[in-house]
Amino acid sequence: MSEPTELPSTSVRARNRAYSVSELGRLLKGHIESSFSQISVRGEVSGFKQTERGHVYFSLKDEHSVLDVVCWHGVVRSLRHKIEDGLELIAQGTLTSYAARSRYQLRLASVELSGEGALLSLLASRRRKLTEEGLFLPSRKRALPLLPRRIAVFTSFSGAVWQDIQHRIRARCAVSLLLFPISVQGRDAEGSILAAFSRLSDGLLSGEYADIDTLIVARGGGSVEDLWVFNEESVVRAAAACRVAIISAIGHESDWTLLDEVADVRAPTPSAAAEMAVPERTALVRRLADLGNRLEMRIGLRLQEFSERLSSASRSLPRALQTSVARRCVIVEDFGRRLHYAINDRLQKLQHRLSRQRLSERWLFDNLARSRERLALVDKARHRALSSIFAERSARLEKLSHLLSSLSYRAVLARGYALVRAGGVVVRSATTLRDGREFSVLFADSSTLQARATSAGDGNASKLPQKSLRL
Query: pLDDT tens digits for the chain (471 residues)?
Result: 444 444 555 544 556 677 777 777 777 777 777 777 788 888 888 888 999 888 999 998 877 788 999 998 888 888 877 788 777 888 888 888 776 666 888 888 888 776 556 667 778 888 999 999 999 999 999 999 988 999 999 999 888 899 999 999 988 887 899 999 999 988 789 999 999 999 999 999 999 999 999 999 999 888 777 888 999 999 999 999 999 999 999 988 777 899 999 999 999 999 999 999 998 877 777 888 888 888 888 888 888 887 777 777 666 666 665 566 667 777 877 777 787 788 778 777 777 766 655 555 566 677 777 877 887 887 788 778 888 888 888 888 888 877 777 777 777 777 778 888 887 788 888 777 878 888 888 887 878 888 888 875 444 433 334 444 444
Q: How far apart are CA 309 and CA 328, in angstroms?
A: 13
Q: Does residue 215 share a domain with residue 132?
A: yes
Q: Is 2 inside a domain boundary?
A: no
The residue among 277, 295, 315 that closes a domain is 277
Q: Does residue 170 share a domain with residue 34?
A: no
DSSP character for 65? -
Q: How far apart are CA 234 and CA 193, in angstroms?
A: 10
Residue of 206, 266, 228 whose CA lies nearest to 116 = 228
**Domain containing residue 95:** 12-113
Q: Residue 280: helix, strand or coil by DSSP?
A: coil
Q: How far apart are CA 66 and CA 45, in angstroms?
A: 10
Q: Where are the beta strands (DSSP E) in 150-306?
A: 150-155, 176-181, 214-219, 245-250, 265-266
Q: Does residue 427 share a domain with residue 395?
A: no
Q: How far apart are CA 48 and CA 60, in angstroms?
A: 10
Domains in the chain, number? 4
**H or E element at residue 122:** helix 115-132
Q: Does residue 204 share a domain with residue 79?
A: no
Q: How far apart are CA 325 and CA 353, in angstroms?
A: 41
CATH of the domain at 63: 2.40.50.140
Q: How far apart are CA 214 and CA 278, in angstroms?
A: 10
The residue among 277, 310, 345 that closes a domain is 277
Q: Is 300 inside a domain boundary?
A: yes
Q: How far apart are CA 390 and CA 313, in angstroms?
A: 9
Q: Does residue 286 share a domain with residue 270?
A: no
Q: Residue 85: helix, strand or coil by DSSP?
A: coil
Cα 54 from chain centroid? 44
Q: Does residue 322 share a domain with residue 210?
A: no
CATH of the domain at 263: 3.40.50.261
Q: Does residue 182 share a domain with residue 65?
A: no
Q: How many residues can be counted in the chain?
A: 471
Q: Is 5 inside a domain boundary?
A: no
- Cβ(155)–Cβ(218) under 8 Å? yes
Q: Does residue 237 share a domain with residue 171?
A: yes
Q: Does residue 96 share a domain with residue 23?
A: yes
Q: Does residue 251 share a domain with residue 192?
A: yes
Q: Does residue 289 share a domain with residue 390?
A: yes
Q: Does residue 132 share a domain with residue 56?
A: no
The residue among 88, 113, 138 that closes a domain is 113
pTM score: 0.48
